[in-house]
Amino acid sequence: MTNPQPAELAAAMPYAARLGITIDEAAPERVTGSLAWEADLCTVGKTLHGGALMSLADAVGAACAYLNLPPGASTSTVESKTNFFRAARAGTVRATSRPLHMGRTFVVVQTDLHDDDNRLVAQTTQTQAVLPDSSRRAP
Ligand SMILES: CC(C)(COP(=O)(O)OP(=O)(O)OC[C@H]1O[C@@H](n2cnc3c(N)ncnc32)[C@H](O)[C@@H]1OP(=O)(O)O)[C@@H](O)C(=O)NCCC(=O)NCCSC(=O)Cc1ccccc1
């Protein structure tokens, strides 16, 4: 994809689409996305499941990494760490991803996840491999 639009990035990630994750803005220095979730994504404690939060962060973070790749390259997540600061209990969670490191062999992206009251609910730092031969891996 050359200069992909947010909808094109989202369409390339079927798992994220299945959860209801959208990509809202896409630029190399900042990608945003969101998840308007319902009770079927909750834990037993009726809060948004951490796996759903990590999925949102990974989708938006991977899109951010993708926009920072050299021509012809692709990427795959190889490490991800999330701190969960407070439970998400209702509404939409918004993700904002920014690149921390753009190397020849790996990219590191940080993603902040905020609730409807603009409180930081979680933060993810993920490492994305830079795969030079994009024909061997989908973005
Ligand atoms: C409760 C605590 C863990 C600790 O709180 P602290 O760090 O000491 O922070 P602080 O004192 O600043 O209070 C902050 C807020 O917390 C509230 N609060 C405090 N104590 C309690 C309490 N005993 N009970 C209830 N609530 C308590 C407190 O009232 C305040 O809210 P307020 O300002 O009043 O509205 C908090 O960090 C938290 O909820 N994190 C999110 C955890 C989460 O949602 N994980 C994902 C789901 S798990 C999963 O899916 C697994 C998985 C993961 C990945 C993959 C696969 C599976």
pLDDT digits (tens, 9 = 90+) for 33-91: 999 999 999 999 999 999 999 999 999 999 999 999 999 999 999 999 999 999 999 99
**Taking 80 as the threshold, does the pLDDT of residue 139 lie above it?**
no
CATH code linked to domain 6-134: 3.10.129.10
* Cα 20 from Cα 38, distance rounded (Å): 10
pLDDT of the residue at 122: 98
Ligand 1 mean position to 34 CA, how many Å? 21
Q: What is the pTM of this model?
A: 0.93
5 close to ligand 1 (CB < 6 Angstrom): no
CA distances from 113 to 31, 48, 57, 96, 139 (A): 12, 12, 7, 7, 22
φ, ψ for residue 63 (rounded to 5)? -60, -40
Predicted pLDDT at 4: 87
ipTM of the complex: 0.90
Q: What is the pLDDT of residue 133?
A: 74
Residue ranges per domain, the chain?
A: 6-134
Indicate the helix (H) or strand (E) that contains 66. helix 50-67
Under 8 Å between Cβ of 74 and 109: no
Pocket test for ligand 1, best of 44, 49, 86 (most atoms within 8 A of CB): 86
How do residues 89-108 score in pLDDT, each as one tens digit?
A: 999 999 999 999 999 999 99
